[in-house]
Chain A
Amino acid sequence: MLYREAGQFKTSYQADGQIFPIMQDRIALLALLAVAIVFVPLLASPYVLSAILIPFLIFSLAAIGLNILTGYAGQLSLGTAAFMAVGAFASYNFILRIPGLPVLVAFILGGLSAALVGIAFGLPSLRIRGFYLAAATLATQFFVVWCLTKIPYLTNYSTSGVITAQPIVILGYNFDTPDRKYLLVLAVVAVMALLAKNMIRSNVGRSWMAVRDMDVAAEVIGFRLMRTKLLAFAVSSFYCGVAGALYAYAYLGTVEPEAYNLDLSFRILFMIIIGGVGSVLGSFLGAAFIVLLPVLLNVVAHSLALPTSVASNLELMVFGALIIFFLIVEPHGLARLWQIGKEKLRLWPFPH
């Protein structure tokens, strides 16, 4: 009823090409943002902010990064966590070595370092595809972690190789409480998600999708394969790098290279598979599913007063079963379910 677009006419190209063509969507998004910016920091407990929302936003950003590479440009990658590690450790070193460097600039520099590493490890994508490329990007994963444990300069000669993130101070304002950290992460993620969405709608995004769908055809019609693929690696790694820096600075506080292990890469890959490959919204939904569901199951199991050992194993089983269920019911992920729901609503109550 409420979700009807009768009477909404597009009279200009701008109006026709906007991100959310339906007015209700725009209102809903603005309302969601308003709630996230104003009400959540006021009402949510420090636990919800620092243990649920901050990691959810950070993993969403990493999932967007991987989605750009895998979902839009079709280059399968297993090195996401490595790019995050580069972002985190590069930001740490920039702040450490350059006194007075603003933290946000350090995050950007960290992202750029990750982009450079991404380009270097994206080179094999010019020759190989699919699973072979996934195996090649696996090398990033091992190489970066190996570098970080082998070169003491990168961890500032700390005996155990664990870095302690410096405090986040922006223009003299210290982001040290959960609500402040949350707002910082929210701002970064919102801006970068908007940028990603627009990039995908521009000719850059179209070139990625052309390469994804049929790279030979894309080359024939004039896309330069090398540039397109490496750009996808660079942009994707940049996103992952910034996510990694946020993970270290706004969430954990201290990190060892092992925190960015293969397991994390897989988790982010699952996020985009479950959320929806090739969808910015899917990155958020997938991150929510992977981050929140175990916590939710854990809380539910706990309120049922199950013994911990049973609860933990039950959690794994339910989680696994739900993944299988979702993938059978909707192999295109949660984003596709959302899209179907929206289409149904537009026709409601008279579907045809």
Chain B
Amino acid sequence: MKRFASIIAVVLLAASGAAIAQPAEQYIALPSYRVGPYAAGGSGFYGGIIDYFNLVNLSGGVNGVKISWEECETEYNPSRGVECYERLKTKNGGATLVEPLSTGVAYGILDRLAVDKIPMTMIGYGRSDAANGKVFPYVFPLITSYWNQAAAMIKYLGDKEGGMAKLKGKKIVHLYHDSAFGKEPLPVLEALSKQYGFELIKIPVTPPGSEQQSQWLQIRQAKPDHVILWGWGSMNAVAIKTAQRNGFPREKILGVWWAGSEEDTVPTGDAAKGYSAMTFNTPGNYPVMDEIRKKLYDAGKGNMADSTRIGSVYHMRGVSAAILWVEAMRTAQEKFGKGKRITGEQMRWGLENLNVDEARQKSIGAFGMLPVVKTSCDDHEGSGAVKVQQWDGKKWNAITPNWIVGDKALTRKLLEESSAAYAAEKKITPACIK
């Protein structure tokens, strides 16, 4: 009984007592996942974030304000993610930014953000309509959303055929993870299929998707011109291997960006050669990566255990996320006072007035690594541009020299409709926060 009581005491102490203010540091909450089914992605992404934070701190922080952070293991489970968010948000004087890298966790905490005044980024996932800052003031699907990615995919396939008009009569299979994530692009794909006259065949894969024989049989019978692989986790490698077994050319498969990392292709061996996928990073090496190698990993301060993963797709995405956050801090500090710790509300302003142009990217040492990101109240996404990369059997190579942007007028229209419906349901009056 006594032991039980002391355990309870430890929990309560740990939960409530840690809120000692440390005003000199900018605190970021990272509900991350490094175990469980999606650990490969999580460890790379959060590793990249922490590597960049360490790099910034080594050079004295953002105008002298060091970045501090705390991780909490979610295992990609929404229920645990909410617990982590609640635990992290009040620590160290209050979190000023949160990034769960999980649709489920993000949806679970979405409503709490405006109350807690903590901005959340959803880099490359989540509600596409959250780009409307009037309805979702604290949510930032930065760089690009699923809808713009879907539009860009069709644009790329049209260009590959030799013009959008050539898409008429073509067959495109949307092979998707049967969850919120897989269904997210459907409105865009359906609208584009009507507009350009291609046939859209929707084939769902029940998560986790470790058996896809029947789906690929269906694909073989349909003889499509292209297959969009909207997969996640172990589903991707299975899809690539099953395609090979069924003799379906991998050159005709175009993966979503969560189906385009080393973790998806390396386990399939030769099968993935020629397979291409979307990305919002240009694969390659950059000065900032060299700095991370030199200053952190050579000094034994790197976050990831395996230093060969530096510059891998997930790691680079983490670095890109951290770059944008640090730029948002800088932007906010310029308005609210340099060298001071900014609050969650001020961080929100920084994210909403972000302008990471080519000159800024050059000075960071990440020129071309990510598209130009310029946000506003109307556009919390800030770019919408993507590239296509191809696996040559050893590494990813960008096969589109320029950033592709799909039909933004269409995605904007859908976004306005969807966010208006959300605002009506939640009784939100859309407005920009000054």
**Is A159's CB under 8 angstroms from B7's CB?**
no
Question: Interface readout for A122-161 with B: 1 if CB under 8 Å, 0 if not?
Answer: 0000000000000000000010001001000000000111
Interface size on A, residues (CB 8 A): 44
Residue of B nearest to A313 (CB): B35
**Is B79's CB under 8 angstroms from A251's CB?**
yes
State whether A252 and B71 are in contact (beta carbons under 8 Å apart), knowing that A161-B179, A308-B32, A309-B34 are contacts in the complex: no
Question: Interface readout for B33-49 with A: 1 if CB under 8 Å, 0 if not?
Answer: 01100000001000000
Cβ of B99 under 8 Å from chain A: no
**Is A47's CB under 8 angstroms from B426's CB?**
no
Cβ of B108 under 8 Å from chain A: yes
Contacting residues, chain A, for B12 (C-beta < 8 A): 48
Cβ of A311 under 8 Å from chain B: yes
**Is A299's CB under 8 angstroms from B15's CB?**
yes
A to B CB contacts below 8 Å, 29 in the list: A45-B16, A46-B90, A47-B16, A47-B87, A51-B83, A51-B86, A149-B179, A149-B183, A159-B184, A159-B418, A160-B180, A161-B179, A161-B180, A162-B180, A252-B79, A252-B108, A253-B110, A253-B111, A256-B179, A257-B179, A259-B79, A259-B104, A295-B11, A296-B7, A296-B10, A298-B73, A308-B34, A309-B35, A311-B73
Contacting residues, chain B, for A253 (C-beta < 8 A): 108, 110-112
Contacting residues, chain B, for A48 (C-beta < 8 A): 12, 15-16
Which of A46, A159, A161 is in CB contact (< 8 Å) with B86?
A46
Cβ of B296 under 8 Å from chain A: no
Contacting residues, chain A, for B332 (C-beta < 8 A): none
Within the complex, the shortest CB–CB distance from A280 to chain B, in Å, comes to 20
Q: Is the interface of B mostly helix, strand, loop or mixed?
A: helix
- Tell me the complex Cα distance, A142–B75, Å: 22
- Tell me the complex Cα distance, A315–B84, Å: 15
Which of A162, A254, A300, A312 is in CB contact (< 8 Å) with B10?
A300
**Is B15's CB under 8 angstroms from A256's CB?**
no
Contacting residues, chain B, for A294 (C-beta < 8 A): 80
Told that A296-B7, A296-B11 touch, could you supply 4 new A-B pairs with CB distance under 8 A?
A: A160-B184, A251-B79, A253-B111, A254-B107
Within the complex, the shortest CB–CB distance from B38 to chain A, in Å, comes to 12
Within the complex, the shortest CB–CB distance from B51 to chain A, in Å, comes to 14
**Is A159's CB under 8 angstroms from B179's CB?**
no
**Is A161's CB under 8 angstroms from B183's CB?**
yes
Question: Interface readout for B88-132 with A: 1 if CB under 8 Å, 0 if not?
Answer: 011000000000000110011011100000000000000100000
**Is B35's CB under 8 angstroms from A316's CB?**
yes
**Is B82's CB under 8 angstroms from A51's CB?**
yes
Cβ of A303 under 8 Å from chain B: yes
State whether A308 and B71 are in contact (beta carbons under 8 Å apart), knowing that A51-B87, A149-B178 are contacts in the complex: yes
**Is B35's CB under 8 angstroms from A164's CB?**
no
Cβ of B267 under 8 Å from chain A: no
Within the complex, the shortest CB–CB distance from A159 to chain B, in Å, comes to 5
Contacting residues, chain B, for A261 (C-beta < 8 A): 207
Within the complex, the shortest CB–CB distance from B94 to chain A, in Å, comes to 12
**Is B82's CB under 8 angstroms from A164's CB?**
no
- Tell me the complex Cα distance, A142–B14, Å: 39
Cβ of A50 under 8 Å from chain B: yes
**Is A312's CB under 8 angstroms from B184's CB?**
no
**Is B426's CB under 8 angstroms from A164's CB?**
yes
**Is B73's CB under 8 angstroms from A47's CB?**
no
- Tell me the complex Cα distance, A298–B72, Å: 8
Residues of A within 8 A of B (CB): 45-48, 50-52, 55, 142, 146, 149, 159-162, 164, 166, 251-259, 261, 263, 292, 294-296, 298-300, 302-303, 308-309, 311-313, 315-316
Interface size on B, residues (CB 8 A): 51
**Is A299's CB under 8 angstroms from B79's CB?**
no
Cβ of B78 under 8 Å from chain A: yes
Contacting residues, chain B, for A255 (C-beta < 8 A): 78, 107
Cβ of B5 under 8 Å from chain A: no
**Is B80's CB under 8 angstroms from A160's CB?**
no
Contacting residues, chain A, for B187 (C-beta < 8 A): 159
- Tell me the complex Cα distance, A300–B181, Å: 34
**Is B73's CB under 8 angstroms from A258's CB?**
no
Contacting residues, chain A, for B32 (C-beta < 8 A): 308
Which of B10, B82, B90, B183 is in CB contact (< 8 Å) with A160?
B183
Interface centre among A142, A162, A300 (most CB of B within 10 A): A162
Contacting residues, chain B, for A311 (C-beta < 8 A): 73
Residue of B nearest to A256 (CB): B180
**Is A259's CB under 8 angstroms from B78's CB?**
yes
Interface centre among B14, B70, B73, B110 (most CB of A within 10 A): B73
Cβ of B305 under 8 Å from chain A: yes
**Is A309's CB under 8 angstroms from B207's CB?**
no
Question: Interface readout for B166-196 with A: 1 if CB under 8 Å, 0 if not?
Answer: 0000000000001111011011000000000
Cβ of B367 under 8 Å from chain A: no
Contacting residues, chain A, for B34 (C-beta < 8 A): 308-309, 312
**Is A295's CB under 8 angstroms from B83's CB?**
yes
- Tell me the complex Cα distance, A315–B1, Å: 23
Which of B7, B90, B183, B184 is in CB contact (< 8 Å) with A47?
B90
Within the complex, the shortest CB–CB distance from B28 to chain A, in Å, comes to 14
**Is B179's CB under 8 angstroms from A299's CB?**
no
Question: Interface readout for B305-335 with A: 1 if CB under 8 Å, 0 if not?
Answer: 1000000000000000000000000000000
Interface centre among B7, B16, B107 (most CB of A within 10 A): B107
Contacting residues, chain B, for A162 (C-beta < 8 A): 107, 180
Interface centre among A162, A252, A303, A309 (most CB of B within 10 A): A309
**Is B79's CB under 8 angstroms from A254's CB?**
no
Residue of B nearest to A253 (CB): B111
- Tell me the complex Cα distance, A149–B112, Å: 26
Considering the complex of A and B, which 5 residue pairs feature the smallest CB-CB distances, nearest first? A51-B86, A160-B180, A51-B83, A312-B73, A312-B35
Residue of A nearest to B187 (CB): A159
Which of A254, A298, A315 is in CB contact (< 8 Å) with B108?
A254
- Tell me the complex Cα distance, A48–B16, Å: 8
Question: Interface readout for B391-434 with A: 1 if CB under 8 Å, 0 if not?
Answer: 00000000000000000000000000010001001100000000
Question: Interface readout for B11-38 with A: 1 if CB under 8 Å, 0 if not?
Answer: 1101110000000000000001011000
Contacting residues, chain A, for B80 (C-beta < 8 A): 294
Within the complex, the shortest CB–CB distance from B93 to chain A, in Å, comes to 15
Contacting residues, chain B, for A166 (C-beta < 8 A): 425
Contacting residues, chain B, for A52 (C-beta < 8 A): 15, 83
Contacting residues, chain B, for A254 (C-beta < 8 A): 107-108, 110-111
